[in-house]
Amino acid sequence: MAYDVHENMPDNFQVAFRRVKELNRQFRAGETSYTDPSYPESQVRLDFIDKFWIALGWDVAHEHETNPYIQEVKVERSQAFEGRRQHADYAFLYPDFHNIFFFVEAKKPSVEIDSADNYFQVIRYGWPNGVAISVLTDFQRFRVIDCRFKPNIDSALDRSISSLRFHYSDFDSEENFAKIYWLFSREAVLAGSLGEYAKTMPQPRGGVQQRRLFPVDTAPFDDDFLSAIEGFRRDLARAIKQKNNDLSSIELTEIVQRILGICLAS
């Protein structure tokens, strides 16, 4: 989605910009306390990171949708990588509630965010799902990570996108905030911003292994496996519906998701 900071921004952008500037003011006023090692990650998420993404239009607090199977933001969504279960702090899904647009990994402000381990962790979430980019943030700092390449701890630090590295004070600038808003806000993502951005990213060279991206920036870990799962999902839903014709579509979806979740986790 194109933008011009010299033109009048739409009202929803201006509302988001004011909210984030207020978060910046609050963080600045208490920065000594917020960067102390005793200030935990769970608290910075509640105080700042959740509110940042809410300002961008996402239903992080599930105020609009309480059904866990049709929520657009999953908190601490479990992910599998090389046989180990990992938990992404946030996964942003819409509109089918099982494909993922992007992940956000949170850290507390006192830690060194720009470490190979932290970048590698973000890439481990994004790459198996075919997600082009994801975010690493402690609110004080905001990093956008290229997740198109197979996770490699030795090259993880090279995956930070230099043009999208910010300090929270950078978002006092409408021009800087616009770069994030028109990429990651709910309205931008639903309009295809991530797919458009992925097209502009440098293509890999040499033998680097890259995930193939679908237009919505999500791809299955294995196409054949996903196809089989989708077929099983349809057959299971059809069988349950035949025996329980009074189930609503939401109830049916929830039952199918629970059964599939149990099967995939075992």
**DSSP assignment of 151-172:** --TTTGGGGEEEEEEEEGGGGG
Per-domain residue ranges of the chain = 11-200, 223-265
- Going 72 to 261 to 147 to 113, the CA torsion angle's sign is positive
pTM of the model: 0.74
Nearest 5 degrees, angle CA 167-CA 171-CA 172? 115
**Listed residue (104, 100, 85, 102) closest to 41, CA to CA:** 104
DSSP assignment, residue 245? T
Which class does domain 11-200 fall in?
Answer: alpha beta
Radius of gyration of the chain (CA): 19
Per-block average pLDDT, block size 10, for the chain (266 residues)? 53 95 98 98 96 97 86 72 63 83 97 97 92 97 96 96 97 96 95 93 61 40 53 78 77 71 57
Residue matched to tokens 């910046």: 24
- Decide: 212 and 204 in contact? Cβ < 8 Å: no
For residue 222, the model assigns a pLDDT of 47
- Decide: 69 and 80 in contact? Cβ < 8 Å: no
Q: And the tokens for 53?
A: 């993404």
Where in 94-132 does DSSP place strands (E)? 100-106
- Decide: 199 and 134 in contact? Cβ < 8 Å: no
User: Roughly how many angstroms between the first and final C-alpha of the chain, as a whole number?
Assistant: 41
Neighbouring C-alpha atoms within 13 Å toward the C-beta of 180: 26
Residue 180, by phi and psi: left (phi above 0), alpha (psi -120 to 50) or beta? alpha
